[in-house]
Amino acid sequence: MSGNWSLEAEFARERKRRARDSFQQAYRLQREAMAEADRALRRDLFEGVVAHYRRSLEFLPTAETYTFLGWAYSFLGDFKAAISSCQHAISLDPDYGNPYNDIGVYLMEEGAYDQAIAYLQKAIGAKRYDCLHYAHYNLGRVLLVRGRVCEAESEFRRALEIEPQYVLARVALHQLEARKDPER
- Annotated domain spans of the chain: 2-106
The pLDDT of residue 21 is 67
pTM of structure: 0.74
The pLDDT of residue 171 is 96
Listed residue (85, 122, 95) closest to 138, CA to CA = 122
* Residues 114 and 143: beta-carbon distance below 8 Å: no
Would you say the C-alpha torsion 103, 77, 40, 50 has a positive or negative sign? positive
174, containing H or E segment: helix 167-180
* Residues 54 and 74: beta-carbon distance below 8 Å: no
Query: d(Cα 132, Cα 119) in Å, to the nearest integer?
Result: 13
State the number of CA atoms in the 13 A half-sphere of 142 facing the CB: 25
Q: At what angle do helices 149-162 and 167-180 cross, to 10 degrees?
A: 150
The pLDDT of residue 150 is 95
The pLDDT of residue 75 is 84
Digitized pLDDT (tens) for each residue of the chain, 184 residues in all:
566 778 888 888 887 777 666 657 766 777 777 777 676 655 566 777 788 888 888 888 999 999 999 998 998 889 999 999 999 999 999 999 999 999 999 999 999 999 999 999 999 999 999 899 999 999 999 999 999 999 999 999 999 999 999 999 999 999 998 887 766 5
Classify 2-106 by CATH class.
mainly alpha
162, containing H or E segment: helix 149-162
